[in-house]
Every structure is written in structure tokens, then in C-alpha cells.
Amino acid sequence: MRAFVHSLGCRVNQYEAQYLKEKLEAIPGAGEIHVVNTCTVTALADRKSRKLIAQLRREHPEALIVAVGCGVDGAKAGLLRAGADLLVGNKDKARLPQIIQAYLSGASLPEGDWPALNGEMVRGPFPRARALLKVQDGCTQACTFCRTWQVRGPLRSKSPELARREALALAEAGHREIVITGINLAQYGLDLPERPGLADLLSELLSVKGVRYRLTSLNPEGLTPELLSLFAREPRLCPYLHMPLQSGDDRVLSAMGRAYTAAEYAEKARKFLQTVPKATLGADVMVGFPGEDELSFAKTVELLEGLEPLNLHIFRFSPRPGTPAAKFSKQVSKEEAARRSSELATLAQGWSLKARARFLGTPLELLVEEKEGPCWVGHTENYIRLSVRESAPLERGTIVPVKLVRIEGNLNEGVVLDRAQDRGDLPS
């Protein structure tokens, strides 16, 4: 059968889409299957999942349409109404090929248990230059605004040894950058018998030569002294940390159920920026959480001001049915949340400019990702999105030495360094 996987949502979902694509290739028979890998992180994500299913139903009336993942666990009924034939939740996602085969033959499979991650491996290549490697699932943090932990099941981690084998396969498939993903990477290894930490996992992964590694989002409690020291000495561990802050006010952080104080966050971020060569920082902030007043917001701004993040993702709190925060008193009006969001967005532009300006003229390593007009665009190891206008052909997926030469608003222009002395390797 011809199988198509359409994915919404986070990097973990994108990894799982690749896994499903590789597994579904083997289903025998004629006809088409469209799998929609849904997301339920916000009401908008639920709507997008339903919309995509309805559109596929219209365009492919004969096809088998299967909705899988977080949206199925969170909001089943709407997906059926939108036109899905079969719903498969996160618990059964990894055995989707068997479930589809049973469905097509009129049988049904007994309900399974949450599977260990060790059977979930991809070989690549991914459609994009960057590969993803999922090493963790589940979260026991139970943040009061978040729905993800409710639909992702218990903590499960992939052993360092199996993750290394998967990384090796991805390197052999041609990838030069692998992004390590999980639902809550700070909880990596807690469920494994030897309780390896992220630093142990990454040390094992670094034995695969010729690739660099990047972490997706990491909560501050995950930045241990061991991990910080690995970042500081290992150039193949990309020196960019996306560390969600959410709020700079301890009262709000505690109401959110976060596991750190504002001071702890600031200290970890500062240490990272000071000790890791070429380090930059990204953060998430949620504005308008119930009880966030002017003073709380000012504390958030002040904390970020001292860190000048390269990227800031700003979310406006919206009450998500089924989460404790939806019932909290002192809800902030939509207008006020929008005002705080736009004030922060303006400040974030300035912080980003300053973060990038620190690297003007510095040799960096660019992953060549895509062509945009006459330019090649990609990300440096410290996650600056850079475009280079290159007359000599560059190859997608390769890593080339560059220098950042111009910044204008969100645009960063670089040149490729083709002589060793430009890179500082040799005396000129």
C-alpha cells in the first residue's frame, strides 16, 4: 500500500512520523493510507488536526485515514467526526503497522501496554538535513498548564547503547547533525536500571564520529554540572541551549508546577553562557498565566534582560480544559496578555540582535540546509540562522566553515571560509 504520514506538533512527533513512514512501507496490498500524527498541545493544535483529516477525507475519499497520537488521547470524538476511519493513541503508536493490518483483515488486536523505547528506532534519512533521535518519552512533572504529560504515558528512556546504534545508522544515512529529542529530556534515564544521565548518553553518542549533536528543549533541572562540563569541552555538542523559563517570578513558577526558582534558572543560564565557548540561549516564556501581575511580568523581563537570549518563544496562556490551571482564579484578560506578549516580542528582537552581534567576524560551522533564491541557508552550531551567497556549489546536509559578516534585523549574512588561515587554523 502507498502510505503517507502527515505530522503536526513537536520534534518528538516528527521523529515518530519518520518511524511510522519506515514501518508502513512494508504493508502489502493496493490502495492508500494517510496517517495523521496529531497534536493536542493547544486548542489550535486540535483544530489543525481535525482540519487536516477533513481535507484528506475530501481529497482521498477511498483512502484509509488513520489518526494517531496525542490528539486521539486528548480529543477523540472530533477526529472521528472529521472523517478518520481508525484512531490509534500514543500507547499503540509504535505498533501501528500491525494494527492497520489487523483492521484491514477485519480483525482487532488486544490492547497493549506502553512499549519500551528500545524497539523504536529509525534508520533515516530524514527528509530534512537534520536528523532527529528520540531518547525519552513521558513526563512526571505535571505542570499545571500542560496537557502533554497526560497523554504521553509513563517515563521511558532509550538505553545509551541503543541510542548510539541508531545515531550510527543516521550518520551512515548521511546526516551530519542529529537533534536529541524527548518529551522531558531532564528526566532522561530515571526509569533505566543504571539511571544514566543526559551527559552519559551524550558521551556514548559522541563515540559516533563525523556528526554533531544538538539538544531540543531542556528544562533547567536537566543542566547538571556533568552536562555543563561536557558542553564546555566537546565542540561536537552544539553550544545552544533552549531552556524554557516560563516566568521570572517564583510565585508564578510555583503555581505552574515548575521545578526551579527564577534565581536557579538565571544561574544555570549564566553559567552556560560563561563557560561554554560560543554559547547562545533560547527560552520559552508564557505570559498571562493566572495570577501573573505587573510585578511578575517585570521580573520576567528583568531576568531575560540579563541573559539576552538569541531566541525567545512567547506563548500566551490559554486555559486548556482538563488542566488544573484552567480553573485557577485571577485569570489575566486576553487584552492584557496580548499587551505583555507584544512588549516582550519587541524586547526579544533587541536581545537577539545583541546575542548575534557578539559573533560578528567569529568563525562558525554552518549546517547547509536549504536553498533560498541565490543563497544557501542553515544554522550554525550556536543556532544562528545564517544565509550565504556562494558562487561555488554547496551541498545540502554538509557542514561548512563560515564567518558572520552582516546582521540586519532578522537576517544574518555569512561568507564561507575556504582558506585554512581564515578559520584561524593556520598562521596567515
Contacts with ligand SF4, residue ranges (CB under 6 A) = 139, 141-143, 146, 148-149, 183-184, 219
Between 34 and 258, name the residue whose CB sits nearer to ligand SF4: 258
Other CB atoms within 10 A of residue 48 CB: 17
Q: How far is CA 168 from the centre of its chain?
A: 21
Helix (H) or strand (E) holding 20: helix 11-24
Whichever of 277 and 322 has its CB closer to ligand SF4, that residue is 322
The grid cell for 180 is 536529541
Q: Which residue is it, cell 525519552?
A: 136
Q: Give min distance, CB of 146 to ligand SF4, in A.
A: 3
Three-class secondary structure of residue 255 per DSSP: helix
How far apart are CB 325 and ligand SF4 at their closest, in Å? 11
β-pair partners for 19: none
Compute the least distance from the CB of residue 57 to ligand SF4, in Å: 31
Q: Tell the smallest beta-carbon distance from residue 241 to ligand SF4 (Å).
A: 16
Residue-level length of the chain: 428
Give least dist CB 383 to ligand SF4, A: 20
Query: What is the closest distance, in whole angstroms, from the C-beta atom of residue 305 to ligand SF4 in the complex?
Result: 24
Closer to ligand SF4 by Cβ: residue 188 or 376: 188
Ramachandran class of 295: left when φ > 0, alpha when ψ lies in -120 to 50, beta otherwise: alpha
Min dist. Cβ of residue 249 to ligand SF4 (A): 17
Nearer to ligand SF4, 94 or 253 (CB): 253
Identity of the residue, 5 or 135, whose beta carbon is nearer to ligand SF4 in the bound complex:
135
Q: Which is nearer to ligand SF4, 148 or 157 (CB)?
A: 148
Q: Which three cell numbers stand for residue 152?
A: 504521553
Geometric angle at alpha carbon 82, from 79 and 87, rounded to 5°: 35
Q: Which three cell numbers stand for residue 302?
A: 528583568
Q: Where do we find the cell 493536542?
A: 40
Q: Are 11 and 181 within 8 A, CB to CB? A: yes
Residue pointed to by grid coordinates 530515571 = 190
153: left (phi over 0), alpha (psi -120 to 50) or beta: left
Nearer to ligand SF4, 234 or 284 (CB): 284
Which of 392, 396, 385 is CA-nearest to residue 416?
Answer: 392
Q: Is 208 exposed, middle or buried (CB count within 10 Å of its CB: 0-12, 13-18, 19+)?
A: buried
Count of beta carbons in the 10 Å neighbourhood of residue 232: 16
Q: How far is the CB of 41 from ligand SF4 (least distance, A)?
A: 9
CB nearer ligand SF4, residue 142 or residue 173: 142
In the complex with ligand SF4, the residue whose CB is nearer, 124 or 153, is 153
* Amino acid letter for position 173: A
Our CB check for ligand SF4 shows the closer of 148 and 387 to be 148
Q: Which is nearer to ligand SF4, 98 or 141 (CB)?
A: 141
Contact status, residue 285 vs residue 303, Cβ threshold 8 Å: no
Residue 351: all three cell numbers together: 536581545
Dihedral angle over CA of 69, 73, 79, 83, nearest 10: 60
Q: Give phi and psi for 116, each to the nearest 5.
A: -70, 160
Question: In whole angstroms, how close is the CB of 364 to ligand SF4 at the nearest point?
Answer: 30
∠ Cα 255 259 264 (to 5°): 110
CA distance 161 to 113: 24
- The nearest distance, CB 147 to ligand SF4, in angstroms, is 8
Q: How far is the CB of 11 from ligand SF4 (least distance, A)?
A: 13
